[in-house]
Amino acid sequence: MVMIIQTYGTMLLKAMGHTLLLCLLSLVFASVIGMIFGLMNVGRNRVLNFIGTVYVDAVRGVPLIVLAYFIYFGVPTAIQQGLGITSFRLSPLQAGTIALSMNCGAYMAEIVRAGIQSVDRGQMEAGRSLGLSYGAGMALIVIPQAIRTMIPSIINQFIITLKDTSILSVIGFPELTNVGKTVMGNTFKPLQAWAVVGIMYLIVITILSKVSKQIERRINRGR
């Protein structure tokens, strides 16, 4: 195990960097996607409700690995053949970010929806009765309160997404799990190799949950 750390330490750390990069990018996009589709789902507009529901159900109904294959292999082929742009390709990072953002975004949309619906209807009514528009009521009154109840679920989702990056090893993105495979192949020491990889995930995720607990506590104190 010491040998693995000595020989492959830098490589594994770099892979962890890739994992975090992929995770971070996905989280940023997923937050935007989640906010948009979540808001679509709480509004009264039937068409938007429908689009939001279809998106959430479709993405949640497809395994991430299938979504990743579809975007990495399927979509470029479609664009090459359909639009005649033969040079079109997605890098593993691009495809991975898209797949993970879509996946995480669907769950975030549900978190946003639940968060907004947890705010008493009277809050919006009071805002509207003062002359605020629906949008202003959402932005100034409902969402600031919804975010507080959403935070634990968001953090939970972030941790899930961090772990889900490992699935994207299948499209060849050099994140931690993928590099773990290489290390195992090179050393023929699966036990040690996967122990090291596992502990690396564990450390990062534990730090993340501790930090998030702190954030959660701080927010609840201000309540």
Partner 1 sequence: MADKTDVKISVKNLKKNFGSLEVLKDISLEVTEGEVVVLIGPSGSGKSTLLRCLNQLEKVTSGQILVDGVDVTDKHTNINKVRENIGMVFQHFNLFNHLNVLKNMTLAPVHLKTLPKEEAKDKAMQLLSRVGLADKAEAFPSQLSGGQKQRVAIARALEMNPDIMLFDEPTSALDPEMVGEVLAVMKELAKDGMTMVVVTHEIGFAREVADRVIFMEGGYIVEEGTPDEIFNHAKEPRTIDFLSKVL
* Interface size with partner 1, residues (CB under 8 A): 19
Please identify which residue in 13, 58, 120, 186 interacts with partner 1, judged by CB under 8 A: 120
Q: Tell me how far apart the alpha carbons of residues 188 and 178 are, in angstroms, rounded to a whole number.
A: 15
Tokens of 165: 């990056």
Q: Smallest distance, Å, CB 151 to partner 1?
A: 13
Q: Smallest distance, Å, CB 115 to partner 1?
A: 13
DSSP H helix total and E strand total for the chain = 10, 0
180-209 residues in contact with partner 1 (CB under 8 A) are none
Q: Tell me how far apart the alpha carbons of residues 59 and 194 are, in angstroms, rounded to a whole number.
A: 30
Chain mean position to CA 145? 22
Q: Smallest distance, Å, CB 216 to partner 1?
A: 16
Choices 7-15, 72-80, 143-151, 160-168; region in contact with partner 1 by CB under 8 A: 143-151
Q: Give the Cβ contact number of residue 66 at 10 Å.
A: 11
Our finding on whether 136 is near partner 1 (CB under 8 A) is yes
Choices 91-99, 139-147, 192-200, 205-213; region in contact with partner 1 by CB under 8 A: 139-147
Please identify which residue in 145, 156, 166, 209 interacts with partner 1, judged by CB under 8 A: 145
Q: Tell me how far apart the alpha carbons of residues 201 and 136 are, in angstroms, rounded to a whole number.
A: 41
* CB proximity list for 100: less than 8 A, separation 6 or greater: 22, 23, 26, 30, 64, 68, 161, 164, 165, 168
Our finding on whether 126 is near partner 1 (CB under 8 A) is yes
Our finding on whether 118 is near partner 1 (CB under 8 A) is no
Alpha helices in the chain (DSSP H): 2-42, 46-60, 64-69, 75-83, 92-118, 121-129, 134-137, 143-164, 176-187, 190-221
Give the H or E element holding residue 159: helix 143-164
Please identify which residue in 32, 63, 125, 214 interacts with partner 1, judged by CB under 8 A: 125
Our finding on whether 133 is near partner 1 (CB under 8 A) is yes
Nearer to partner 1, 7 or 118 (CB): 118
Q: Tell me how far apart the alpha carbons of residues 124 and 141 are, in angstroms, rounded to a whole number.
A: 7
Our finding on whether 135 is near partner 1 (CB under 8 A) is no
Please identify which residue in 74, 144, 172, 190 interacts with partner 1, judged by CB under 8 A: 144
Q: Smallest distance, Å, CB 129 to partner 1?
A: 4
| Nearest Cα to Cα of residue 196 among 17, 1, 20 | 1
Summarize as ranges the residues that interact with partner 1 (CB under 8 A). 120, 122-123, 125-133, 136, 140-141, 144-145, 148, 223
